[in-house]
Chain A
């Protein structure tokens, strides 16, 4: 066990865990930030995607000891009132079905748009291909990413 001071959604929080514990379980079990989902545990599905700094990472493969002083942002911290352009676009397009993968999809999409504010279809597909949606909402996800890109540009 070891103590870590983590910057999560803007707050410094302390946790005392096995240094190998993936951030996914630190977030879910220790901070009750359950918006970050468990899907596969091997970085194949993207349900656990969070931001480490500005990068989208799979928190199931990110040991707590590797975080250091980098800021972690989860779906709960993406915006204060759930009004990030990507979240708004998701609602406008009415993307979700079961909804389980959508936090991960939104975190991947928001990291993409930060780096590339007007991605092509191919760039969206390439960035989003690591996130599985078992319900098959891909056409809506793509539409929402494009809408968010336009909204971001206009704002």
Chain B
């Protein structure tokens, strides 16, 4: 048993809700059409008692657990309450899960991002359950007039053994609600978990398979209008003028006007990226009517001048960014990036004497890898609901960073944060895109102008051409080998438009005596943002493909070669600051080696391996390709993952499988190119997405078993699979893949 403090300084992890009605009851019912069955209604308690912001106990013993973070497919709405329930000591089937409202007083970090929900929520969620359990025990102790030390719990029951008294949580709930939150509380031993570590099904499964309105796009309110925007057709363009007279008289159209999304002097937060500062809004009664008007509108655009914007990044001091004028093309991007290959860039890390090692090398291998801009392509297009009134606003929609979006809305609308009520709907995918909520601002500004509730809907085309892309990257790796084929130096020169992908302190840093990492960036007016495992999603691919090529050159097994490097990093690390734990890194490689039967003698299998550390977790993958009718087919992926304690194993496997399929899809097909500022793809007819027939026929996920607190899961399986695929394709086709998407290279015709 571990006793922990429920407060750190003045900040309490566990608070009772102080708002009237607990702040948990929304002023209007968003999901009114989500009717409960009569069976569900008959089992509901007559009264709920709130023990803290996470736990409500009903008089009949049912427990409601609030899931603090928004759900976008990561499974947190199931996994986070499981952690609370385990410490509360209640049967999982007695738990009802509710999406918590945005409330920065009650909850911390209500974000989707960085694979951090479980990792950073872990202690707080355990404490929430343990605190509620403690309060129930105290209620029983008071009621029975015995010491709390003599009270035990077992799955929703309180016991006092010596007097043979028992009561359910429900019976003690009303007394427990009056007990003050304890200042310290005992947590379970890891070995005593009985919900954490068991597979529980998605709590929203039934609602999803029956088509219930869960998503932002499903929001409906009486009197609601539908809005769409028209944004410039190219990056580097802005609104000049429009002629809306003809479309204003079209059926159902209520108004057409332009809105300034951000004022010129608006100080942006990290996630306030916005490519098109002024857009045209078309508001009407129904979606189809607005879509028709959108097609008919005549708008004139003009090139932008270069401008600068004030920005307060997520970390570090305020910056002034210069946004260049001009209509950019991918061809020019590629040429400019290629010129950077030989240029000296900013040195981010240097160990030993790499110049000398390269001078004395018997053999030097140099390879350059590139990857294009990518669009997130969430299946639910960007959308948001807003009902802005004088001095207050009710909003609803899919957000990854609702608490930051709220601040931006408050600043832009001039409404105090306390008067802004945001309902976080389920996200039809996020992958980083919904951290950047320019569409929430647009919806709010349109509602303000219309003085009516408005649902803003992006068409797929608006979504795909609206910016916030994964940047385009390039890296050149150079390896020095001595006459005995020892790896003596690594040189990395990495950059991108407009962001560098370099993580200088990651493997193989620490494992190579002489190491040099350089970084560069080129600016652009094309907007970028986080995309599942930012930067890692490119670096893993290049690094792990390069290591494969070195291993081949020196005639070593690719897994053994990596293990040797990790052994060195573990026993005799180079440099002061290496991000990773070499032993855990080697652990996933050893596990994947065993589970994939790496030494298999099946000659029809072309196998590639890769491993990567990111988001505090370790993933290793073996990907098997066979040639079918002359084309490579991905048969199986074996994945080993070390993400500490796994809360919901089958849910975690689902997430790992998703990262693998997503990675294979983006590696093969993902690409957004530009010509004169115009994105060259705008829908799924040209932007190729992976489909069922192209996904691996089998995915086999294994977790390293340990007692380490949970680490990231949503992202870590995504980056290495690019390289596992490239390395397997090489075995199948004899061709190395340096340029993503791999299918853009002529020799592949899958």
Contact = CB atoms under 8 A, between A and B. Distances in A.
A72 interface: no
Interface string B198-218: 000110111011111111011
Contacts, number: 191
Contact of A125 (B211, B377, B692): B692
A86 B220 CA distance: 28
B41 interface: no
Contacts of B292: 18
A126 interface: yes
Task: Give the interface centre of B37, B210, B212 by most chain A CB atoms within 10 Å.
Answer: B210
Interface string A11-51: 00000011011100100111011111111111011010000
Interface in B664-699: 665, 683-685, 689-693, 695-699
A4 interface: no
A136 B665 contact: yes
A108 to B, nearest CB: 10
A44 B695 contact: no
Given A34-B217, A97-B658, A99-B428, A91 B209 contact: yes
A129 B693 contact: yes
B710 interface: no
B205 A98 contact: no
B651 interface: yes
Contact of B288 (A25, A34, A40, A130): A25
A129 B691 contact: yes
A133 to B, nearest CB: 8
Given A98-B73, A98-B429, A45 B684 contact: yes
Interface stretch (B232-240, B378-386, B513-521, B569-577): B378-386
Given A28-B287, A100-B429, A139-B657, A38 B201 contact: no
B33 interface: yes
A126 B245 CA distance: 47
Nearest to A81: B37
Given A1-B251, A42-B684, A140-B654, A29 B208 contact: no
Given A32-B33, A75-B210, A98-B426, A135 B217 contact: no
B212 A35 contact: yes
A153 B426 CA distance: 35
Contacts of B287: 25, 28-29, 38
A98 B427 contact: yes
A34 B213 contact: yes
A91 B380 contact: no
A136 B211 contact: no
Interface string A70-87: 000011101001100001
Given A34-B217, A91-B206, A47 B379 contact: yes
A27 B729 CA distance: 45
A135 B215 CA distance: 15
Contacts of A25: 286-288
19 contacts: A18-B289, A18-B292, A22-B288, A25-B287, A29-B287, A33-B211, A34-B217, A35-B210, A44-B683, A75-B210, A75-B211, A98-B379, A98-B430, A121-B697, A132-B684, A133-B379, A134-B662, A138-B690, A139-B696
Interface of B: 33, 37, 72-75, 201-202, 204-206, 208-215, 217-218, 220, 226, 251, 286-289, 291-292, 377-381, 426-431, 457, 459-460, 650-651, 654-655, 657-662, 665, 683-685, 689-693, 695-699
In the A-B complex, list the 5 residue pairs whose CB atoms are closest, starting with the nearest. Answer: A35-B211, A136-B661, A100-B428, A98-B73, A97-B73
